[in-house]
Copies of this chain bind each other. A is one copy, B any other.
Amino acid sequence: MSTIRVIEVKQSIFADNDKTAAAMRQELKERGIYLLNLMSSPGSGKTTTLKRTIAALKDEYKIGVMEADIDSDVDALAISETGAKAIQLHTMGMCHMDAAMTRQGFDQLIDNEIELAILENIGNLVCPAEFDTGAVKNAMILSVPEGHDKPLKYPLMFQVCDVVLINKMDVLPVFDFDLEKCTEYIHMRNPNAVVIPICAKTGEGMDAWYDWLRDQIKEWRS
């Protein structure tokens, strides 16, 4: 019974949220800001990937990172050391970011004339996938130690993502991870998803990721 009540409320929230998200996307378009929603499990390497991405692209774009955390600021501190604008958003225990929550960081993007904004969502493969944050596109990181069966177990997350980074490729030799199978499972969920194997720690494969981002930003701002 309690389950049914949650779902009813969720549906009205989803409708409100979709409107807020669409309005925000329109405003991003008008201002030429590209916002990417980055999702993953805890510990898959979101922050490390962001730090390296900022180092590589900071001379091309003004970059801002919105750090969604339950109540800590561990990642925002790490990001602020890179020279990018770090915007801390606390979800106060919530498991995801919705469009209204994301919008709270919007003024700071404008004030800082951000061109590439990345939302580092809560580490969770279930809830964040349910909410349109207002971002232009969704990206996720799946790391090698998590296993190649994850698209089978967390269908919605892979369905809503436009690009999947397979991180920690450097430790492939010590894990039973089948990249081919993983790609096949991802494409079962979303045939259009772009899959890019990377190692955020060593930099391996990151150029393909930067190129994907450059193409995205160019298209969005044209």
Known: A43-B146, A125-B123. A70 touches B6 (CB 8 A): no
Q: List the B side residues contacting A94 at CB < 8 Å.
A: 3
Could you tell me the distance in whole angstroms from the C-beta of A217 to the nearest C-beta in chain B? 29
Q: Please, how many angstroms separate the alpha-carbon atoms of A125 and B123 in the complex?
A: 8
A150-179, CB under 8 A of B: which get 1 and which 0? 101111100000000000101100110000
Q: Does A84 contact B (CB under 8 A)?
A: no
Interface residues on A, range: 35 or more
**Least CB separation from A175: chain B residue:** B171
Known: A2-B13, A127-B95. A42 touches B174 (CB 8 A): no
Q: Does A145 contact B (CB under 8 A)?
A: yes
Q: Does A22 contact B (CB under 8 A)?
A: no
Q: List the B side residues contacting A93 at CB < 8 Å.
A: 130, 156
**Least CB separation from A75: chain B residue:** B153
Given contacts A43-B150, A93-B130, A171-B175, could you give 17 more A-B pairs where the C-beta distance is less than 8 Å? Answer: A1-B16, A2-B13, A2-B16, A6-B9, A41-B41, A42-B150, A70-B126, A70-B153, A72-B152, A72-B155, A74-B149, A75-B153, A95-B126, A123-B153, A124-B127, A126-B127, A174-B174
